[in-house]
Amino acid sequence: MGKLTTHVLDTAHGCPGAGIRVELYAIGADGRTLLKSALTNDDGRCAEALLEGAALLAGQYELVFHAGDYYAARGVDLPSPRFLDRIALGFGIADPAQNYHVPLVMTPWSYSTYRGS
């Protein structure tokens, strides 16, 4: 059985993104449905899988990372409105038997992601 996990790396400070609120949504014909909300730990990871086993279904999902709040709490001088505030990553799960790891690598001005396992 597969699982969905994530973690955040703050490349502006060269450290894991600790204490970032992450929301997971299922995307369907009726819009977005919040499935889970979590905070990243000191290693920038959520303490448990966001979805796993029978809860991991094929379909479209979105992860929303509250990056602006994280950088503001770190004392980073951000413009108003923030250039990057909430970073939304839309992705699909084709085979729920596989592991899907969706990391976020970010600064206050840029981000990237990739599919890990």
Annotated binding site for substrate: 7, 45, 114
How far apart, in whole angstroms, are the C-alpha atoms of residue 39 and residue 88? Answer: 16
CA atoms within 13 A on the CB side of 88: 8
- 97: number of Cβ within 10 Å: 8
Is 8 within 8 Å of 40 (Cβ atoms)?
yes
Annotated binding site: 7, 45, 114
**The two structure tokens encoding residue 106:** 């970010």
Is 16 within 8 Å of 42 (Cβ atoms)?
yes
